[in-house]
Structure 1
């Protein structure tokens, strides 16, 4: 599907890596994306994910919520999908209003713009839970919910209008907290029970180290084929951790349901000759960390520890490619949440 370069820039949200000791056992999250019309991209999309695996999808072209995994299709019937479709259609209308509201607040009369929302919950291996609800506009944070205080955080002045309207609504904010910390967890556990064989499997990564010299010297460490999603990739120089000149890319899905991730280390060629550099991969499927040594020598070289899976597509391309930070606000809220929840509005003036 064709997308403009502006679209690609705005549909990028920031993700941070978690250390495996605090790894999420299971997670449920929803992504909503509204875009201005006329760019050969659905004006509204939603994607639901369990443990990073897309299980449902809706967009304004098909106007129907559809299953994306076998386990959800087997366990939920027509009533469920009809209800989810109605919720998504309501959200579509709400986000259309939200887009107009935010364009007005930012004094915009045209161009390509995006309104995004991400919300969900996490259940950790120690039994603790975390919920979040966040909104973004044009790829930047706009509004987020603070669960402890049950108030809204507005990083931009254009979002303060919404914050001032939502903070006094203590009943709604209490319901938000209860949903994110309780009801969302209930749905998460339900979905995990549906797809336990898939979602609780442990697939180890295969990995490679590739040394490149153009346009600037760098070494790429690539891990692929692993599940679950959480993974740590780090670098060492003569056994010491390296934290500078490292670019850690986002974790991407493979077509087979596994994941891939890469880390890029910028290092002068002469340093590679003088020192021993290693890429270290940690994953819950591994009994011990996987260590790959960067070869000393010139030219383009690669050490393959496994077979590289061919290039993959982003499963959530349409609803998420959203790898932005997490937030949005300023309008009316939309009625979706996770299945069977109904009050998710954004912002209205």
Structure 2
């Protein structure tokens, strides 16, 4: 059975000029022995800043700005919270498998949540969604303040959660206030790196004279590039396959576009790859042949680091990208009530209502 590494939720929220976002991605996996049962990734404006997996059982910083501004108490709290989520995810996957009557094989259970605000208009938005085996499962409509499920197997949960007006009000407060406060705090922490602009390095690669040509753009920040092809000076969009946006280990991004072309076409025509990023245009004309069947090392590194992010963020052809639930309410005290510190366990994770019963 093929494991689809992609998050399959409705509504792609891309960060654009003036808009900033805080997102958390949780993915539970069962039936795969060499992958963590739970992986957690936190992003600010598409830059990964925290990471957790159930193999290491430790939440760790992924940027210098969060490492320098939060101490041991923060990471202990995050670790404790993510371990609680690990136990909850195992229950949710099992219940979901029973509801879909598929108790064997590889399965994924995903949650996404977060918020965004426009620093020019002051407009805010929040989101939290669930997914199972690559399909939308349940999401919160913040305008209507009600849970909606596109599948019969989750309607039971949606109906139960919609009756909990206290929990819905807490969700509303979190997304409109607490989440935005944390986002603004993180933006201040990382203002120097989050506002940086790095242009891509662009290469035309070909394994052999008979294989497809790959235009590889890497090392750019922020995301939001476009890759296009030209043939003899004219726009060319036939037989083109645009790959997923992938993260590099240093926080920058990469993406590839593959052109299917015969050796004869390549010999008799002039193909150019055009990459546009942050108002700059970079072209690549000279094709470099990559000996053997191995991939360029830059792509390999990006894919390896992307596995940790995509397995959690699941971007189905970036094809999806976004949010989850159970937010990091600005902390949870020992009795489960919210306090002023960043934590997760108070919303759905440590409540029985988060379990799909």
Give the TM-score normalised by structure 1. Answer: 0.79
Aligned partner of 1:219 in structure 2 is 213
Residue of 206, 210, 227 corresponding to 2:201: 206
Residue of 60, 68, 88 corresponding to 2:82: 88
SS in 1 for 2:300: coil
What is the 5 A alignment of 1:254-273?
254-269=248-263, 271-272=265-266
Aligned partner of 1:317 in structure 2 is 307
CA deviation after TM superposition for structure 1 residue 17, in Å: 8.5
Alignment of 1:348 onto 2:337:
no
Name stretches of at least 5 consecutive residues in structure 1 with no aligned partner: none
Alignment of 1:231 onto 2:239:
no
What is the 5 A alignment of 1:167-186?
167-186=162-181
CA deviation after TM superposition for structure 1 residue 267, in Å: 4.0
Paired with 1:335 and 1:130, the residues of 2 have a C-alpha distance of 14
CA deviation after TM superposition for structure 1 residue 32, in Å: 0.9
Alignment of 1:288 onto 2:280:
yes
Paired with 1:48 and 1:165, the residues of 2 have a C-alpha distance of 29
Cα RMSD for the two superposed structures: 3.5
Paired with 2:217 and 2:41, the residues of 1 have a C-alpha distance of 25
Give the TM-score normalised by structure 2. Answer: 0.77
Alignment of 1:164 onto 2:165:
no
Paired with 1:257 and 1:275, the residues of 2 have a C-alpha distance of 37
Residues 232-270 of structure 1 show CA distances to partners (whole Å, capped at 9, x for unaligned) of 222344555444533221121222222111112334555
Residues 265-284 of structure 1 show CA distances to partners (whole Å, capped at 9, x for unaligned) of 33455555665543222212
C-alpha spacing 1:43/1:212, structure 2 compared with 1 (3 Å): closer
Name stretches of at least 5 consecutive residues in structure 2 with no aligned partner: 331-341
SS in 1 for 2:184: helix
> In 2, are the aligned partners of 1:44 and 1:60 still within 8 Å (CA)?
yes
Aligned partner of 2:338 in structure 1 is none
Residues 103-130 of structure 1 show CA distances to partners (whole Å, capped at 9, x for unaligned) of 1101122222111112222344644444
> In 2, are the aligned partners of 1:11 and 1:321 still within 8 Å (CA)?
yes
Aligned partner of 2:189 in structure 1 is 194
CA deviation after TM superposition for structure 1 residue 202, in Å: 0.9
Paired with 1:244 and 1:124, the residues of 2 have a C-alpha distance of 37
CA deviation after TM superposition for structure 1 residue 153, in Å: 3.3
Paired with 1:242 and 1:17, the residues of 2 have a C-alpha distance of 27
Residues 85-106 of structure 1 show CA distances to partners (whole Å, capped at 9, x for unaligned) of 2322221222121111101101
